[in-house]
A and B are shown apart, each in its own frame.
Chain A
């Protein structure tokens, strides 16, 4: 919009390196694993409250921004998720009563039905106080920048321009939802994330023998000038490179795109694809694109997560990643 609006948004893009320097003392892998669980919790709160998805994406972005400034030891992910959801209901004009948010929160934490949580029980009061206290810290961390853009609006433009089949759109749309489980929303602008979701969706849909991600996102110049063997020309190159051409990415943007793709695929790869989420296999097994600068290892299967610091929390082994545990894991209330 205006120059100042641009400045505000660019303040919220961090380098991948910054993920390793967050205030949280855990190992980066552990932190990202917990962030994913927090976003899962946030989504579950949001859908129980029947919020519009746009409000949930805003809340999820804030969730990631918050942990760039405060540590996960001080603020429990569930409190932060609830505070993000509550604040988003206010800024996105879909107001919910604090008491209702608190009740749903209690229901999710204790794995019970919302109806079984009575209006005036003590735990609801406590949850309300926690949400309000966290909201204050959240406002501070956000610097009152409430306006957030999501990759979904970019995706809509893409869909409109391309007129794709519904299946591809659903794939890309779901990938964009899932992208919030990773911190890509604070690493790359929405356009890059939208393109990454779209390209990955195309690759998954086209199957294993379709052009690699590298081919899909490479610069057009060389291949256009070189004669292509006719046999080596599957599903027209224009289609597979549609998103890249549509956005007209520069070289550095393509590099970011490759990084975003790596993060997304690695995230899926770290899920329990054998037992819990077998349907993720086609995404998780997509070969990574080549990237110029090496990314740190961000995702490992949960069983391999080590944590630094002195917390004695048991390793979550039996749960699928991204699942919020029903128990509060000892350290539920942040140390005051």
Chain B
């Protein structure tokens, strides 16, 4: 095996392997995956601060992919931390409810992540008032969220940025955890971590109080907030500032007593924000079943150690009671599609070069380039030159 690898490596060094252009069809070809790359306005993944997302297609499987192009050179500290985290963790995590990182490759000054293409996120669906959610739909989304999260936690990875717009929805309805730019591993309990993580509305009170030692419970709080948001159709606890967030939480759930959350008053950034009475959580969620309210309140327990774990949540009675969760394919979809459907994109390409010509190309290319160890070629980074614009590609 080693010799094959070596052989492959020497091949890799040859200039012929770098993105060679197929003149006839006008697309950039490169080994193993052949992608047609379009500039398309695919949402602002990563807030557009460090990456541009392109839509492409894996020509060997005809699968849509998203290409997250990250400029390496533009940061004064080299490759950005969030890019590193994303690559580091997504390379390891393979699960049906976690976004799949199909490949990573570097071009001259860019790092390119090839991710599975997902067309919607949960935030879009929650905000789309024309869509009606059934309790069974909410249950299905929650189950998929917990499954993905349980897998991360089982592998000692904290997500640290769960919110509806990081829960992406595939065209077949599957929900997937995405954006691992803040994720980290947490094996060592004595290791100080930053409390400046998780989007404010989904941030648990211990982080708002500056807790530096925490664990999986921080993600569970976020999931609790998402659960509530799915039922209410508006963000459950939307604070305007970090301080206001604490107040909002206490107003919603009552100010915690020392018994409810031992020691919280000695957290680094603890400030008393007033005494708010406790209302039964039930009052706000009138339509929810008892099981749903029970699971929600277990996700929103103040004391992090008593908060339910992802694993226990999955065996909570809520998931076994009727109604059964909807099948992913039956889940409601966003009515306003912000993206051009792929068919249309295909049409453009065909007009430019002809799909059939290209379809034949990758096979020939593959046979020639990958040699005896075609499968394994996946993990080898390849050089590409994205600076050359594809003449046939439409500028959307």
Contacts and interface: CB of A to CB of B under 8 A. Distances in A.
Contact of B94 (A2, A17, A98): A2
A296 to B, nearest CB: 15
A30 B132 CA distance: 71
Contacts of B185: 93
B78 interface: yes
Interface stretch (B61-69, B251-259, B374-382): B374-382
B106 A139 contact: yes
Given A7-B376, A8-B91, A8-B379, A135 B79 contact: yes
Contacts of B91: 4-5, 8, 144-147
A65 to B, nearest CB: 11
B79 A18 contact: no
B87 interface: yes
A18 B2 CA distance: 8
B78 A87 contact: yes
A4 B2 contact: no
A69 B9 contact: yes
B186 to A, nearest CB: 10
Interface string B75-97: 01111010010011001111000
Interface string A138-154: 01100111110000000
A136 interface: yes
Contacts of A11: 5, 376, 379
Q: How large, as a class, is the contact surface on chain A? A: 35 or more
Interface string B97-129: 000000010100101000000000000000000
Nearest to A54: B188
A98 B88 contact: no
Interface in A66-120: 68-69, 86-87, 90-91, 93, 95, 97-98
A309 B193 CA distance: 49
A281 B1 CA distance: 37
Given A10-B1, A14-B6, A140 B376 contact: no
A97 B84 CA distance: 16
A319 interface: no
B78 A135 contact: yes
Interface in A1-37: 1-2, 4-5, 7-8, 10-11, 13-15, 17-18, 21
A192 to B, nearest CB: 15
Nearest to A4: B94
A21 B78 contact: no
A139 B72 contact: yes
A291 interface: no
A132 interface: yes
A326 B338 CA distance: 60
A144 B376 CA distance: 15
B3 interface: yes
Residues of A contacting B: mostly? helix
B72 A90 contact: no
B184 interface: yes
Interface in B374-396: 376, 379-381, 383
Contact of A98 (B78, B106, B184): B78
A313 B109 CA distance: 33
Nearest to A23: B13
B13 to A, nearest CB: 8
A139 B94 contact: no
Contacts of B5: 11, 14
Which residue among B9, B72, B77, B84 has the maximum number of chain A CB atoms within 10 Å of its CB? Answer: B77
Contacts of A5: 91-92
A98 B76 contact: yes
A140 B94 contact: no
A135 B77 CA distance: 10
Contacts of A21: 6
A31 B9 CA distance: 19
A143 B105 CA distance: 7
Contacts of B381: 140, 143-144
A143 B185 CA distance: 20
Contacts of B87: 144, 146
B152 to A, nearest CB: 12
Nearest to B186: A93
Given A136-B72, A145-B91, A15 B376 contact: no
A145 B379 contact: yes
B155 A90 contact: no
Contacts of B111: 139, 144
Which residue among B72, B78, B193, B379 has the maximum number of chain A CB atoms within 10 Å of its CB? Answer: B78
B184 A93 contact: yes
A90 B2 contact: no
B47 to A, nearest CB: 20
Nearest to A137: B106
Contacts of B106: 136, 139-140, 144
Contact of B379 (A87, A90, A143): A143
Given A18-B6, A90-B79, A135-B79, A147 B88 contact: yes
B155 A1 contact: yes
B220 to A, nearest CB: 21
A14 B9 CA distance: 12
Given A2-B92, A11-B379, A139-B111, A90 B84 contact: yes
25 contacts: A4-B92, A11-B376, A11-B379, A17-B3, A18-B2, A18-B3, A21-B6, A87-B79, A93-B191, A97-B77, A131-B78, A135-B78, A136-B73, A139-B72, A139-B111, A143-B379, A143-B381, A144-B88, A144-B104, A144-B111, A144-B381, A145-B379, A146-B88, A146-B91, A147-B91
Given A7-B376, A97-B77, 7 more contacts: A4-B91, A8-B379, A11-B376, A14-B2, A86-B78, A131-B78, A136-B73
Interface of A: 1-2, 4-5, 7-8, 10-11, 13-15, 17-18, 21, 68-69, 86-87, 90-91, 93, 95, 97-98, 131-132, 135-136, 139-140, 143-147
Q: Which 5 A-B pairs have the closest CB atoms?
A: A143-B381, A15-B2, A146-B88, A144-B104, A135-B78
